[in-house]
Chain A
Amino acid sequence: ILNVEQSPQSLHVQEGDSTNFTCSFPSSNFYALHWYRWETAKSPEALFVMTLNGDEKKKGRISATLNTKEGYSYLYIKGSQPEDSATYLCAFHKAAGNKLTFGGGTRVLVKP
C-alpha cells in the first residue's frame, strides 16, 4: 500500500501572507507527482505535473518544488488571496503503475 501524506491537514492564512505545505511520498519507484486544487462545490483542477528531481513549476502566485530522492514536494502560495481558499491534493504515480494515489489534502483557508 502506497503512503502519500500531506501536512498540515489544514491551515489558516491571513490575506497577503505567504504559506507552504508538504506532500510526502515513497522515494522508490517514483514516476510523477501531480498537484490539484479543489475549491468547495467545484471540480478538482490540475495545477502541476512534476517528474524530475529538482523540478520547479509556477502558475501565477502558486509554485511547487520536487525532491524525488527524499520523497517530498512543497507547494507555495505567495501573497495569499481569499480565492486561494481550497483543498490542495497531491497524487503520486509510481513507475510501472497505472493509477494515482492521492494524499489526504491540505485545506487552506485565507482570511480577509
Chain B
Amino acid sequence: EAGVAQSPRYKIIEKRQSVAFWCNPISGHATLYWYQQILGQGPKLLIQFQNNGVVDDSQLPKDRFSAERLKGVDSTLKIQPAKLEDSAVYLCASSVPGTVGTETQYFGPGTRLLVL
C-alpha cells in the first residue's frame, strides 16, 4: 500500500513570497490533516478535512494560509505571503474515520520550508 505522498520535500523562499505544498493521502482515507512543526516543538494541527469539508481550521492563520481539498482526495496548502516564522516542517497525514480519538494517522515525509 502506498503511503502519504508530499511534495516538494524541501523549499527555500524569501519572505513575502508565496509557496504551495501538495499532499496525496492513502487511497480511501477520508480524513486529511495538515500540521506545522516548528523546530523544537510538537506538530500543531493547522487544518483537518473530512472528505472535502473542513472539520477544524481553528489554528490556521487565515490571513496568509489557505488550504483546499478538491474532490476529497489531494490537498494543497498555500502560504501567501510567507514570513520568517513560517519556517517549519509541514506534515500531511491521513486516516480512515473510526472511533474518534483512536484513529491512527499515517504521515507523509513532510516538506521542510525555510523562509529567508
Contact = CB atoms under 8 A, between A and B. Distances in A.
A32 B102 contact: yes
A104 B108 contact: no
Nearest to B93: A44
Which secondary structure dominates where chain B touches chain A? loop
A104 B109 contact: no
Chain A interface size, as a band, is 20 to 34
Interface stretch (B12-20, B38-46, B63-71, B72-80): B38-46
A99 B56 contact: yes
Given A98-B55, A102-B44, A46 B102 contact: no
17 contacts: A4-B42, A32-B102, A34-B105, A41-B109, A43-B4, A43-B106, A43-B110, A44-B93, A51-B102, A91-B42, A93-B100, A98-B56, A98-B100, A100-B45, A100-B105, A102-B44, A105-B42
Interface of A: 4, 6, 9, 31-32, 34, 36, 41-46, 49, 51, 89, 91, 93, 95, 97-105
Interface of B: 3-4, 35, 40-45, 48, 55-56, 91, 93, 100-102, 104-110
